[in-house]
Amino acid sequence: MKQPHRSGPAVQTATVIASPVGPLYLAATDAGLTQLRFLAQPHDVRNVVPAQGAGGHILRETELQLADHFTGRRRRFELPLAPSGTEFQLATWHELRAIPYGEMLSYRELARRLGKPRAVRAVGAANRANPISIIVPCHRVIGSDGSLVGYGGGLDTKRRLLALEGVQLVGYPRPPARQRSRPCVTAQLTLGSLFPEACNSRQ
């Protein structure tokens, strides 16, 4: 069995922060952020330790940038990341970060961009294994037919994250038939019902 490629040392510091989509678990090493997970996902919160060293600074900066993101002031994160995974997972997560703010991509198109057009299921598995949600935006990936499909934080959270970026998904509609062949979709939405604090601050 192929051993996972490790891109950073063991977790040294972690914390839990509040957010508009519920509490978030953050973990980091001196090399970078290693985890951003919704607390609804199973993991050991007992690993939370006081912020310290470079890892602690990364956690504090992550919290500040997330706050700006949730109020619409930030569209791109500037943080050192150090996730652990296989070479394919790391390549998939890298490609996820190339999906522009406010746009969506199908799993099939993501596989094509990775040079593995038949690896749609593997791409889906890599998305599910993504340890750094929101910042590595797996919420921007949808089914080839335009359906929202699954998300580790729940479909409602996925809808809220996309709505923050201006993507319209009220009732999780599928796009019209003439648009379903398009791998990338951008839509508009008024944010007041989901993120009222973003309405007066989004740039």
Task: Kindly state the helix (H) or strand (E) to which residue 26 belongs, with its residue range.
Answer: strand 24-29
Catalytic (active site) residue 138: yes
Closest CA to 166 of 140, 139, 188, 141: 188
CA distance 192 to 203: 15
CA distance 118 to 93: 18
Residue carrying structure tokens 């094509």: 112
The one catalytic residue among 14, 104, 132, 138: 138
Sequence-separated (6 or more) residues with CB below 8 Å from residue 171: none
Catalytic residues: 138
